[in-house]
Amino acid sequence: MTVLSNKYAVDLADEMPTGTTPEAPALPPAEQAAAGRRPLPELLRAYVALTKPRIIELLLITTIPVMFLAAGGVPPLGTVVATLAFGTLAAAAANAINCYIDRDIDAKMRRTRRRPLARAQVTPTEALVFGIALAAASTVGFLLTVNVPSAAGAAFAILFYVFVYSLLLKRRTAQNVVWGGIAGCMPVLIGWTAITGELAWTPFVLFGVVFLWTPPHSWTLAMRYREDYAVAKVPMLPVVSGERRVVVESLVYTYATVACSLLLWPVAGMGPVYGGVAVLLGVVFLAEGHRLLKAVRAGVTGVHLRPMRFFHLSNVYLALLFTAVAVDPLLH
């Protein structure tokens, strides 16, 4: 389950006064009518696209392994299925509402201009109602099939992503993905409470791993699309700061991520499988960060820095680290 993030950042064409909600020009009547006349398969694809499935897939990776760790082995299948199903609905809800909020800037960014609202495949009202319905279904589903702590965690993640990240932070501060990333860390806590019904230090260490991993992951993506963000006036760090500062801060967060991942070893009593994988992945992850730093110090700029290489590696790092989290209890 996820609400993200990461995430992940968006673009804005006009500065918004503090305390206001971004408003987009209303769709022309002809386009609104066209949205309603689309064939059912296209309409269904549009609604699925509102949920941003690729983001959900990535952060679901952090839910299942934590359930294995909490259970000390294979968790109950019914609980896993229910957590994934209603966690997916929670993530989909947050993403759909985010599409509603960001419809003005999505239409102007090259990276997002093919999203359903930007292409008038659905109307803004339909997208908002869809997101709210998914949020309600997720919360009720967790209450009925899992437990109260997991339901509360899912509801908190949706509300934080929508109100704190999307409405408050994203368009106002370069620290948007730092603190907004809290929403993307919630699947770890939800997966743990789904099994145990309570919190402990172990899931908070993994929460810290995802929290610290998010900024360098998001900033290297933003380096690739800096021009888009600049036009939209979204204050992502690569827009408001030079490449050297972005790379240095990303490397600092990468060191913190690796250190936090190693902290899980003693805190959760992990075995040699997790420890070995965490060390090896950490070395590779840090090596890539130092490659970026060496390049920027040598005067390499723009796409020649190859920031997307770090971005893709960060995905692999998180996926393999959490796979080790799941496998270790089975062998330890």
Identity (one letter) of the amino acid at 167?
L
Q: Which residues contact 289 (CB under 8 A, 6 or more apart)?
A: 216, 247, 250, 251, 254, 255, 310
pLDDT in tens, 282-296: 999 999 999 999 999
**Confidence label for 26 from pLDDT (cuts 50, 70 and 90):** very low
Which residue reads 């600049």 in tokens?
Answer: 230
Round to whole Å and give the CA distance between 89 and 74. 24
Round to whole Å and give the CA distance between 66 and 268. 11
| Closest to 220 (Cα-Cα) out of 247, 244, 241, 245 | 247
Angle at 215 between CA 68 and CA 318, to 5 degrees: 30
What is the pLDDT, as a whole number, of residue 194?
98
Contact 122/47 with Cβ under 8 angstroms? yes
Weakest-pLDDT range from 20-24, 35-39, 54-58, 210-214: 20-24
Contact 56/135 with Cβ under 8 angstroms? no
Higher-pLDDT residue of 263, 31: 263
pTM of the predicted model, to two decimals?
0.87
Higher-pLDDT residue of 293, 229: 293
What is the pLDDT, as a whole number, of residue 70?
98
What is the pLDDT, as a whole number, of residue 210?
97
**Angle 64-71/307-331 helices, nearest 10 degrees?**
30
What is the pLDDT, as a whole number, of residue 160?
97
Q: What is the mean pLDDT of residues 180-189?
A: 95
What is the pLDDT, as a whole number, of residue 234?
87
- The pLDDT > 70 percentage for the chain reads 88
What is the pLDDT, as a whole number, of residue 11?
31
Burial of 21 from C-beta contacts in 10 A (0-12 / 13-18 / 19+): exposed
**Confidence label for 233 from pLDDT (cuts 50, 70 and 90):** confident
What ranges in the chain are assigned the alpha helix state H? 29-37, 40-50, 53-60, 64-71, 77-101, 103-106, 124-145, 148-159, 176-180, 182-196, 201-224, 226-232, 237-240, 243-267, 272-297, 307-331
Question: Mean of the per-residue pLDDT values for the chain?
Answer: 88
CB atoms within 10 A of CB 309: 13
Convert 207-238 to b/e letters by CB count within 10 Å (16 or more is b). Answer: bbbbbbbbbbbbbbbbbbbbebbebbebbbbb
What is the pLDDT, as a whole number, of residue 230?
86
What is the pLDDT, as a whole number, of residue 37?
61
Which residue reads 């330890």 in tokens?
Answer: 332
Domains of the chain in start order, with CATH, are 35-198 (1.10.357.140), 200-332 (1.20.120.1780)
pLDDT higher than threshold 90 for residue 177: yes
